[in-house]
Amino acid sequence: MEALALLFSVALPWILGIAALASLGWPRGETNGHAFALRSGFGYMVGGVLLTLWMRALSAAGIAFGWATIALPLAAITVGLLVYALRSRKLSPGDVKGALSALVSPTLPSAQRMVWIALLVWLALRFGLLAAEVALRPLYPWDAWVQWATKARVWYELGRIVAFVPADVWLAGTSQGYFDASPAYPATVPLLQVWTCVMLGRWDDSAMNWPWLAMLLSLSIATYGALRSEGVAPLVSFFGAYFVASLPLLDVHVALAGYADLPMAVVYTLAALATYRWCLRREPSDGIVALFLAVACPLIKNPGWFWALTLVPGVVLALMPRRGLRLLAVGFALTLMTALVLARTEPVLLGYRLHLDVATGWAQLLKSYFLMGNWNLLFYGAIAVLAIGARRLLDPPLAPLAAITAAGLAFLLFVFAFAQPGSWLSDLTTANRATLHVAPLLIVLGVLTWHRLAFPSPGVSGVPAAPSAA
């Protein structure tokens, strides 16, 4: 029964997200296989965010958390959305059958099919081992049990969201509330853990971390679907998904689940991919999905506001393809000047003191990226492919995604130029965790750049080229 409860705890938000996307008619203009891969990849995080929003609403209304108050209404909504999507022919049972058939027995030449099956088996083994880690390892990482699971435990026991306050307020006894290392952190990640324990019927600091495995699986599927929708060959797209799923530090964040960095990476990557789709196609449904996921970024971590803002350069280039690069250059210069002025006054933003420090340990960061095993050969490969295809990055269709990725990297490196965040480079823990957010985008951009170099086309990716006058 516990296994079924855990399976349901993962399946409900996943199917809810798929149903919501299908009823929205997203994604438009895709073959059934591509559409199902995108819905499956985006579905878990979309459904997970919707689930936690419902839990917030229950708590605000004074209704206690329970399987009846959480699961039954969401299950009814899911069924309703599925019925609507099926009746409006935005979804069909054949989509699922066709996608599973293509996964197990793809229509490929024999040599490519053997490579496909080998990758599939290898990924199944990898996810199986990660599942064993999640099932057997108690809550372990430091930040997980001093600033995230603390909230989950209290909210599960009380059946509602209650306030966490700073240490001085808690010690003074002037306010009712609880205290942990980061009382101002958002509620989404702990609520996902609470939901799992509610379905399990008891507090379990190991089983509550199954969402992390689902997040990595969904990110891998979304990567495959996004690459296929841009015209990349099936096997190459599968390799792109494999590169994401095999990043050592991503796997560590599943095996040692409980941090918010993997959820942040998944939500931000999906927001960027949806924004990229909108930049190329201008479909309203793409814009809705992109906006929803962008707004979800600060619901995962407080710096999510800044990560969401890094999506803006891609939109600027899409709306102003001729003047966009100049406008972005001016915007970057103004941002840099503003930050330098603020640094002289040493303001505190989101708990971080902004004071520039030119002696930041950049050597440690380079060591982590290029000499240690956290990222495999990600940065070697990304630099090589993007350097060769640099001219392609400035032109459609790659420019919007390149701008988003560059903005994410610039924000990451700029943050480490300040004294307090820069001090984290000494042990590399926080630096590597922050790099998780942009690493999957680097892989997607690298694969798309290689595809454009290998198969140049006058058309926009994913959109047929205009017919020749001849």
pLDDT digits (tens, 9 = 90+) for 407-445: 999 888 877 776 555 556 666 777 888 899 999 999 999
Instruction: Tell me if 52 is assigned to some domain.
Output: yes
427: part of which helix (H) or strand (E)? none
Give me the long-range contacts of 278-283 (CB less than 8 A, separation at least 24): 278/315, 278/318, 279/314, 279/315, 279/317, 279/318, 279/400, 279/401, 280/318, 280/396, 280/397, 280/400, 280/460, 280/461, 280/462, 280/463, 281/28, 281/29, 281/462, 281/463, 283/26, 283/27, 283/28, 283/29
Nearest Cα to Cα of residue 425 among 334, 379, 357: 357
Residue 404, classified by CB atoms within 10 Å of its CB into exposed (0-12), middle (13-18) or buried (19+), is: buried
Which residue shows structure tokens 């878990």? 44
d(CA 256, CA 136): 11
Instruction: Tell me if 215 is assigned to some domain.
Output: yes
Instruction: Tell me if 287 is assigned to some domain.
Output: no
Domain that holds residue 233: 2-105+115-265
Q: How many domains does the chain have?
A: 1
d(CA 78, CA 48): 13
Instruction: Tell me if 399 is assigned to some domain.
Output: no
Q: Is 0.75 topped by the overall pTM?
A: yes
Instruction: Tell me if 70 is assigned to some domain.
Output: yes
Q: Facing residues of 352 across strands?
A: 349
Instruction: Tell me if 236 is assigned to some domain.
Output: yes
- Name the DSSP letter for residue 464: P
Q: Facing residues of 353 across strands?
A: 348
- Please list, in sequence order, all residues whose beta carbon lies within 8 angstroms of the beta carbon of residue 192, skipping any fewer than 6 positions away: 48, 51, 52, 211, 263
Which residue shows structure tokens 């406008």? 327
d(CA 70, CA 50): 11
Instruction: Tell me if 195 is assigned to some domain.
Output: yes
d(CA 161, CA 58): 9
Helix spans in 246-323 (H): 248-255, 261-281, 284-300, 304-309, 312-319
Which residue shows structure tokens 């054949």? 94
What is the full per-residue pLDDT of the chain (470 aa) written as tens digits?
789 999 999 999 999 999 999 999 999 877 667 888 999 999 999 999 999 999 999 999 999 999 999 999 999 999 999 999 999 988 888 777 777 777 877 888 999 999 999 999 999 999 999 999 999 999 988 889 999 999 999 999 999 999 999 888 888 877 788 999 899 999 999 999 999 999 999 999 999 999 999 999 999 999 999 999 999 999 999 999 999 999 999 999 999 999 999 999 999 999 999 999 999 999 999 999 999 999 999 999 999 999 999 999 999 998 988 787 888 888 888 877 776 776 666 666 656 666 666 556 677 788 889 988 889 999 999 999 999 999 899 888 999 999 999 999 988 887 777 655 555 666 677 788 889 999 999 999 999 999 999 887 644 444 433 333 33
Nearest Cα to Cα of residue 240 among 462, 452, 26, 450: 450
Q: How far from chain centre, in Å, is Cα 286?
A: 16
d(CA 159, CA 194): 9
d(CA 440, CA 122): 19
Instruction: Tell me if 57 is assigned to some domain.
Output: yes
